[in-house]
Amino acid sequence: MTECLAGCGTPLHPAAAEGGFAVHPGCEPREAVAGYRWGCVGCGMTGVADNATHAAALHRSHFAYACPSTAQTRQEFDLRVARRWPLTELYPDEVPPYDRPFRTA
């Protein structure tokens, strides 16, 4: 397996390496974006948007599809938490670990 040149410690998928990619898409150096920050009070995830409208859209889509605290079923909760793990390792400041259990009531 080929290592990611960004030094994240996760090997590249063989197809990505064969396609000429040297880093994961999330490992590419990110430029500082002068924009609007948004944050989720439910899970602590934060992000940067281009403008206020974009920030509101990102916040709404986060609650609808990505935030573990708004999952309606245990299966959905597990899926949302699983999606966070690679991002937690790559961006610990923006995607903190989510360790609260699924609410049953």
Q: Supply 101's token pair.
A: 């259990």
Question: Are residues 56 and 93 located together in one domain of the fold?
Answer: yes
| Judgement on whether residues 10 and 49 belong to the same structural domain of the protein | no
Residues 54 and 99 in one domain: yes
**Higher confidence at residue 97 or residue 9?**
97
Mean pLDDT, rounded, for 42-60: 88
Instruction: Pick the more confident residue, 53 or 7.
Output: 53
Residue range(s) defining the domain that contains residue 54: 35-105
What pLDDT, on the 0 to 100 scale, is given for residue 75?
95
Residues 59, 44 share a domain: yes
State the pLDDT at residue 81: 93
| Alpha carbon separation from 97 to 15, 40, 81 (Å, rounded) | 29, 13, 9
Same domain assignment for residues 45 and 85: yes
Q: Which has the minimum average pLDDT: 32-46, 47-61, 87-101?
A: 32-46
Both 9 and 47 in a single domain? no
Average pLDDT (13-29) is 70
Average pLDDT (64-86) is: 92
Q: Within this chain, do residues 25 and 54 fall inside the same structural domain, yes or no?
A: no
Query: How many independent structural domains does the chain possess?
Result: 2
The long-range contacts involving 96-104, CB below 8 angstroms and separated by at least 24 positions, are 96/43, 96/44, 96/45, 98/43, 98/44, 98/68, 100/68, 100/69, 102/68, 102/71, 102/74, 102/77, 102/78
